[in-house]
Chains A and B, each alone.
Chain A
Amino acid sequence: MPGGLTRDAVTIALVTGVLIWVLPLIVGTYTLTVLAIYGMLGLSLGLIWGFGGILCFGQAAFFGLGAYAYAIFAINIGESTVPMILAVLVPAVFAALLGAMMFYGRLGDVYLGVITLVVTLILYKVVNSTAGPQYVIGNARLGGFNGIPGFPTLNVPGTPDAYIWGDRYFHVCAVLLGLVYMLVTALLRSSFGRIAVGIRENETRMSLMGYDVRARKTAMFAIGAGIAGLAGGLFANWAEIVTPSLFSLGQSAEIIIWCIVGGLGTRLGPVLGAAGLAYLKFLLGQQAVIDNALVTGLVLVLFVLFLPKGVVPALSDLWSAGIGRIRPGRIGRRRQPRRRGWPNG
């Protein structure tokens, strides 16, 4: 349905445009920038978990790899275009290798969770222990727990002196989030995406149909990591420093909570969950009465108890039970298939 895809793309473009215009009237663009970045990070896990059925406990690892790849290459190259591309490619290739090992090794879902968790831990430990001056990549000192500060930030491609910052940088991040959202939409409408959802539903059935489940899950895993890496590269530019805390398990857990709260199996849910919870955290961060982690935990518990499907699926259920019923013949519906008799009576 190419027509449906065009309509989706127009909708996404319009909504992104309106939000870029309206939201800065309410919240500062510096905060909005990081909300958009987290939205993208949430979407990366929402894609592979909600549609690909792959629960990854280490999505933060790809986020961190993207951020570090950007910082290290930006210092060495002195311009931001290639480092930004590498922020996507490095985590994607890493995930492809890790995914191939897990999926071709026919590991069960539990082991997949454990391995992604352990890999995150190892990356954290390794990066944390690179404080000495001997740990350099080209001109970039890894800096251990101090992280890497002072790398060149985003510039207009081809013009290293024209830095993009402030409101402009917010626009870049928001537009990129819109583009990634469109990409995910197109992916899920494509055969590849529909087959991935089939694999989420029943791997055995899909392999009995002739699909190589291992290769497809590996590809999906790598795509999710690439999106997380892009978010990481953007985050590095926003924070202007990368530290090992990007790889922390706490960060990974938060991404999972965003998806649960926003709603798995939707595109919008993880984005809203990420932006909403991150904003809540930002507001709470301005006071010292209630502990942040406590609130995040409480929100999770409340959702699991009272709204286990998450915000977006609950809202769309409401919609189809109420307003949707008034317009039964919605556009885009296929015509009713005909009924016919049996070949042999």
Chain B
Amino acid sequence: MAEIALETHGLTMRFGGVVAADRVDFRLQARELRCLIGPNGAGKSTFFKCITGLQSPSEGEVWMRGIETTGWMPHQVASLGVGIKTQTPNVLDSLSVHENVWLAARRFHGAREADRKTREVIDLLDLGAIAKDGLGRLAHGERQRVELGLVAAGDPWLILLDEPAAGLGAEDVERLTGIIRELNRQATLVIVEHDMQFIRSIAETVTVFHQGKVLMEGHVDRVMSDPVVRNVYLGRKA
């Protein structure tokens, strides 16, 4: 049996009367790449935050590689080898690209080794030309790419990305696709996304969220042609 990278049992998150995540049972095999989709406010980010420790779930359990991580703090989850990108950009604005990546690498390596790892990541994500620039002065697409670099620098075995393609141009999305494929060679990925074209290009299996619940799970083509899904999700756009 393949190893289970991530698992939740009855994960529930309430904000007052709002049930943002409702008894979510989720299971992911090692090296799988899964996309989470769903309309705005479906609870994708909430589910995501409960896994990463940014929020503590009201009920339910989170397991990673057989370790229960329910209620852990983000630094404890990250220290397990989990790379995280939140929906809102989280970078170190007044520091250079190099320093940003170095700090991410330093957590898991000695200072020397972190220097080497930083060069490797900067090459991998083609950040060489802007390595000395401060993050605050970069374009949105470049900042997104640096944040992916921060995730990659820790050599994570589980990667959680909340809307990595948001606000990117076609060229940047293409680059992102390449990077994600590269990361998926080592790691299991969970990606929250809205961009259907992008999802089709990277994922086979998608999980649909609706009103805090898992509405459906399956192959991207089957899910996309499902009338119920089209109704709640795509119907909105039609």
Contact = CB atoms under 8 A, between A and B. Distances in A.
Interface of A: 191, 194-195, 197-198, 201-202, 204-213, 336-345
A202 B178 contact: no
B40 interface: no
A201 B150 contact: no
A201 B93 contact: yes
A342 B126 contact: yes
Given A207-B78, A209-B107, 18 more contacts: A194-B106, A198-B99, A201-B94, A201-B95, A202-B90, A204-B74, A204-B90, A207-B73, A207-B74, A208-B52, A209-B78, A209-B150, A209-B154, A211-B107, A336-B128, A338-B123, A343-B178, A344-B182
Contact of B75 (A191, A194, A212): A212
Contacts of B178: 342-345
B106 A195 contact: yes
B119 interface: yes
A209 B103 contact: yes
Interface string B65-91: 000000001110011000010100011
Contact of A343 (B52, B73, B84, B182): B182
Nearest to B52: A208
Contact of A202 (B93, B98, B124, B129): B93
A191 B106 contact: yes
Nearest to A106: B73
B175 interface: yes
15 contacts: A194-B99, A194-B102, A198-B99, A208-B52, A208-B75, A208-B90, A210-B75, A210-B108, A211-B75, A339-B128, A340-B123, A340-B128, A342-B126, A343-B182, A344-B182
Contacts of B128: 336-340
Interface residues of B, number: 40
A341 B75 CA distance: 33
A18 B123 CA distance: 46
Nearest to A216: B75
B194 interface: no
A131 B20 CA distance: 60
B131 interface: yes
A197 B95 contact: yes
B181 A205 contact: no
A208 to B, nearest CB: 5
B107 to A, nearest CB: 4
Q: Is the interface of A mostly helix, strand, loop or mixed?
A: loop
Most buried by B among A210, A338, A345: A210
B111 interface: yes
Given A213-B75, A339-B129, A341-B126, A202 B91 contact: yes
B220 to A, nearest CB: 20
Contacts, number: 88
Nearest to A340: B123
Top-8 shortest CB links A-B: A344-B178, A210-B78, A201-B92, A337-B128, A205-B90, A210-B79, A207-B75, A210-B107
B95 A198 contact: yes
Contacts of A337: 98, 119, 122-123, 128, 131
B104 interface: yes
Interface of B: 52, 54, 73-75, 78-79, 84, 86, 90-95, 98-99, 102-104, 106-108, 111, 119, 122-124, 126, 128-129, 131, 150, 154, 175, 177-179, 181-182
A27 B181 CA distance: 68
A235 to B, nearest CB: 34
A210 B155 CA distance: 12
A343 B182 CA distance: 7
Contacts of A202: 90-93
Contact of B154 (A207, A210, A336): A210
B106 A339 contact: no
A208 B84 contact: yes
Contacts of A210: 75, 78-79, 107-108, 154
Given A195-B103, A198-B103, A208 B74 contact: yes
Contacts of B79: 210
Nearest to A215: B75
A343 B124 contact: yes
Nearest to B175: A342
A339 B126 CA distance: 7
Contacts of B154: 209-210
Nearest to B129: A339
A342 to B, nearest CB: 6
B155 to A, nearest CB: 12
Contacts of A211: 75, 107
A108 B237 CA distance: 41
B92 A205 contact: yes
Contacts of B95: 197-198, 201
A345 B177 CA distance: 10
Nearest to B131: A337
A51 to B, nearest CB: 12
A340 B128 CA distance: 8
Contacts of B98: 337
A342 B124 CA distance: 7
